[in-house]
A and B are shown apart, each in its own frame.
Chain A
Amino acid sequence: MSDVYVMGIDMIKFGRFPDKTVPQLGATAALMALDDAGLTIQDMQALYCGNLGQASAMVGQRVLQEIGQTGIGVVNCANACATGATAFREAWMSVKAGVNDVVLAVGVEQMGKGLLGGGGGAAGIPKEGLLGSGTMPAVFAEAGMEHSRNYGTTFEQFAKVSVKNHHHSTLNPKAMYQIETPLETVMNAEMISYPNTKLMCSVNVDGAAAAVLVSEKKARELGMARAVRVKASVLTSDPYSDRDLVMPDVNAVTRRAAAQAYEMAGIGPEDIGLVELHDCFATAEILHYENLGLCKDGEAGRMIDDGEVALGGRIPVNVSGGLLSKGHPLGATGIANIYEVSTHLRGEADKRQVEGARFGMTHVIGLGSACGIHILEKVA
């Protein structure tokens, strides 16, 4: 089977764009990715579009109505916060299978402000604040507290994740925020759900990202100089575990995906030069150092203390600023993190460039649950 390459990829600067529509945001990113590839919408053989908020509203077709109704097949994907990665993976699969040579993947989201999460079922009375909390900050706080329980991980260590990612985003002009947040600022910010303060929660923003994926044959035809090889593409759902249906288990679903991704790529964690992982909350990032094999179980607290995951460290994590500061437009996130890793592998990440990376990894979690992992390889 043909290798699959990212030939063009880009994202809009994340922010709040109430005057734009979802298709308009998606179309903007699509055109940027097409330009990056040196191709046009007329060259695309299919479109895979990820969006959550308008999942039943044919967003992919409406993107084409903005930039060119060429009549190609469109697949609209929704998979919680793994939506963008799922769209990218569907695009990858169609090329891998030899059905298509050149396809477009778009992830786009327009977000409101405020808490995400279920408030309980429609029947009876509201369950929020009665049967615990279904808000996302609380759910991921509880996931983090499991790490505290097992390894003594502290509020301060969780907070350091946010300090790091906000620092990284000062080097990323496409991030929502470019502001430093010292440790005391993070820890003293409004407590949302202990141990997650407001600065330890991802930012709800509007955003879009898009990628052009091509076959090996097409990549050779177009030139490999800036091509990025997709070495692994994996999607998992949550395997049964005792507490999963009460307390979503984001660990097992990630470990399963990571093991499959390393096997598919034929490499191990020690070969990975940078990681963009799903820091929807600061507590979550800590879990995934171990889930992705970046360190041994129980070492995540030390990893953040020692700066191993900061730019310049052993294995930089979320040099884009992550969801905590770059922002988290749900359907766009999974392609935006592929953009970030691709940009480093191409040597085009400017001030935040991670030097010497041959492989990079992207990871997203959609609660409920889905995990999408991609491993990308520098070609030229």
Chain B
Amino acid sequence: MSEQAKDEGPLPVVSWLKGAGTNDPYLEGQKCECGAIFLGERNNCSSCGARDQLKPTRLSNKGKLYVYSIVHRSFPGIEVPYISAIVDLDGGGTVKGNLINVEPDPAKIQFDMPVDVVFDDALGRKDKDGNSYISYFFQPAA
């Protein structure tokens, strides 16, 4: 990446995180007329097979915890433990991410607990060009 990218502030961790570096970041889905919602740009729907019918749609910043795992062993250099969570967003769309601000203890984590999608620096991770990134996280609903 270029100096220009640095000047523009942090980059989004995934292409479907929009508004990185603004005060209104959000996740974007691609919604088909059949109702299926996908993450990331695509041309065709893998649910109904429709072509070129997908429309960008702003996903909710609220959702419910579907399932999780508490990760105690990961690849070298990755800080553990952390909670890997699958969240169903209100109004549609399922997203995977880290659940933060909860103790990594099954007794403290409930299925269907309401969560907020929050946006913050990507744990200090930078790419080889030194660019910083903004990521999304889940935390218990305020």
Return B9 CB to nearest CB of chain A, in Å: 15
Q: Is A130 engaged at the interface, CB distance under 8 Å to the other chain?
A: yes
Q: Determine which of B71, B79, B125, B136 lies in contact with A193 in the assembled complex, contact meaning CB atoms within 8 Å.
A: B71
Contact A194 B39 (CB under 8 A): no
Contact B75 A193 (CB under 8 A): no
How many angstroms from the CA of A135 to the CA of B127 in the assembled complex? 21
* Set of chain B residues within 8 Å of A301, measured between Cβ atoms: none
Q: Is A306 engaged at the interface, CB distance under 8 Å to the other chain?
A: no
Q: Is B14 engaged at the interface, CB distance under 8 Å to the other chain?
A: yes
Q: Determine which of A124, A132, A138, A195 lies in contact with B11 in the assembled complex, contact meaning CB atoms within 8 Å.
A: A124
How many angstroms from the CA of A146 to the CA of B86 in the assembled complex? 10
Interface residues of A, count at CB 8 A: 35
Q: Is B118 engaged at the interface, CB distance under 8 Å to the other chain?
A: no
Q: How large is the interface on B (under 10, 10 to 19, 20 to 34, 35 or more residues)?
A: 35 or more
Q: Is B106 engaged at the interface, CB distance under 8 Å to the other chain?
A: yes
Contact A130 B13 (CB under 8 A): yes
Return B130 CB to nearest CB of chain A, in Å: 11
Contact A149 B96 (CB under 8 A): no
* Set of chain B residues within 8 Å of A191, measured between Cβ atoms: 70, 72-73
* Set of chain A residues within 8 Å of B98, measured between Cβ atoms: 129-132
Contact B14 A131 (CB under 8 A): yes
Return B91 CB to nearest CB of chain A, in Å: 13
Contact B74 A135 (CB under 8 A): yes
Contact B80 A129 (CB under 8 A): yes
A-B CB contacts (within 8 Å), total count: 126
CB closest residue in chain A, given B132: A125
Q: Is A324 engaged at the interface, CB distance under 8 Å to the other chain?
A: no
Binds B, one of A7-15, A241-249, A344-352: A241-249
* Set of chain B residues within 8 Å of A133, measured between Cβ atoms: 69, 71, 74, 82, 84
What 1/0 mask marks residues of chain A from 174 to 201 whose CB sits below 8 Å from any chain B CB?
Answer: 0000000000000000111111100000
Q: Is B26 engaged at the interface, CB distance under 8 Å to the other chain?
A: no
* Set of chain B residues within 8 Å of A357, measured between Cβ atoms: none
Contact A132 B73 (CB under 8 A): no
Q: Is A341 engaged at the interface, CB distance under 8 Å to the other chain?
A: no
Q: Determine which of A126, A127, A145, A242 lies in contact with B69 in the assembled complex, contact meaning CB atoms within 8 Å.
A: A145
Which residues in window 89-144 of A have CB below 8 A to B?
115, 119, 124-133, 135, 137-138, 141-142
Q: Determine which of A126, A128, A246 lies in contact with B86 in the assembled complex, contact meaning CB atoms within 8 Å.
A: A246
* Set of chain A residues within 8 Å of B50, measured between Cβ atoms: none
Which residues in window 75-124 of B have CB below 8 A to A?
75, 78-80, 82, 84-86, 88, 94-98, 106, 111, 122-123
With A129-B80, A138-B69, A142-B67 as known contacts, state yes or no: A124 contacts B39, CB within 8 Å: no
Contact B127 A128 (CB under 8 A): no
Contacts A/B (CB < 8 Å), 13 sampled: A115-B73, A126-B125, A127-B14, A128-B78, A130-B13, A130-B122, A135-B71, A137-B73, A142-B69, A193-B72, A193-B84, A246-B94, A247-B67
Q: Which residues of A contact B (CB under 8 A)?
A: 115, 119, 124-133, 135, 137-138, 141-142, 145-146, 148-149, 155, 190-196, 240, 242-243, 245-247
